[in-house]
Amino acid sequence: MMEQPAREAIVLLMKGLFERSDNEAAWEALTGPAHGTITDYFDVIGLEPVIDEAEGYAFLRQKAPTEGEAALPRLIPARELGYKVSLLCVLLRKRIADFDMQSDDFRAVVTKEDLIEQLLLFMPQTFDEVKLRRELDTTVKKVEELGFLKKLRGEQEHYEIRRSLKAFVDAQWLADFDKNLQAYREAGLWQ
């Protein structure tokens, strides 16, 4: 029978991004002796855990079918992100890189107002700044729902940038974003 921490690790992975700080015992099971059991569990349904031990996060990814094997239906959908959400993810990724170069602390913390001010630099001038700020506030909430921002307890307007963002905003993702940004420019949606 599988130990409780291993079962908790499976549940946390199925919920989405799983960070070491979410549950230390489950993290130890995932990266330790129960790793093979957990991997085998997900292999049956065509998923594989992706673990970054140095950064302390894990998530599930759909496995590509092996040669001669029929593909299983996608369990984890690919998401198209809108321009503002994508832009904020890029800005957050840059912020993590800057933070890692300048600080020994593990947690990168930002304020909501700082995020909105950064986004405003990339938005067209508008007469209704209040409406635009509400839209950008919604953008921050969407990125929080994706799991890339975590509100700090007792600090309503402060967020920790989740290190798992590094796994999603990689060089390929940035290249794709540059292509989409060029399409926005050509369509006249962004100046």
Per-residue pLDDT tens over the stretch 30-44: 999 899 999 999 998
User: Is it the case that residue 68 has pLDDT exceeding 50?
Assistant: yes
Average pLDDT value for the chain: 85
Q: Which domain holds residue 19?
A: 4-62
59 forms beta bridges with: 50
122 and 39 within one domain: no
Strands (E), 25-148: 47-52, 57-62, 108-111
73 CB neighbour count, 10 Å cutoff: 6
Same domain as 182, residue 89: yes
Instruction: Evaluate whether residue 69 is within a structural domain.
Output: no
Q: Is 156 helix (H, G, I), strand (E, B) or coil?
A: strand
> Where residue 171 falls among pLDDT bands split at 50, 70, 90?
low
Report the pLDDT value the prediction gives residue 58, as an integer from 0 to 100: 92
Q: Comparing 7 with 79, which gets the higher pLDDT?
A: 7
Do 170 and 97 lie in a common domain?
A: yes
Sign of the torsion angle spanned by Cα atoms 27, 32, 34, 37: positive
Question: What confidence score (pLDDT) does residue 96 get?
Answer: 86
* Spatial distance between the Cα atoms of 162 and 39, rounded to a whole number of angstroms: 24
pTM of the model: 0.72
pLDDT, tens digit (0-9, with 9 covering 90-100), for 117-161: 988 888 877 778 888 889 999 999 999 988 889 999 888 789 999
Does residue 73 belong to any structural domain of this protein?
no
Average pLDDT over residues 162-175: 78
Tell which wins on pLDDT, 98 or 75: 98
Answer yes or no: is 71 within a domain. Answer: no
Residue 191: the pLDDT is 47
The pLDDT of residue 45 is above 80: yes
Is 67 among the domain residues? no
Q: What is the pLDDT of residue 184?
A: 63
**Where are the extended beta strands (E) located within 87-161?**
108-111, 149-152, 155-161
Question: Cα–Cα distance between 42 and 76 in angstroms, integer?
Answer: 13
**Token representation of residue 92:** 């957050």
80/75 Cα distance (integer angstroms): 16
Tokens 């799983």 locate to 18
What six digits make up the tokens of 98?
């800057």
Span 100-106, mean pLDDT? 79
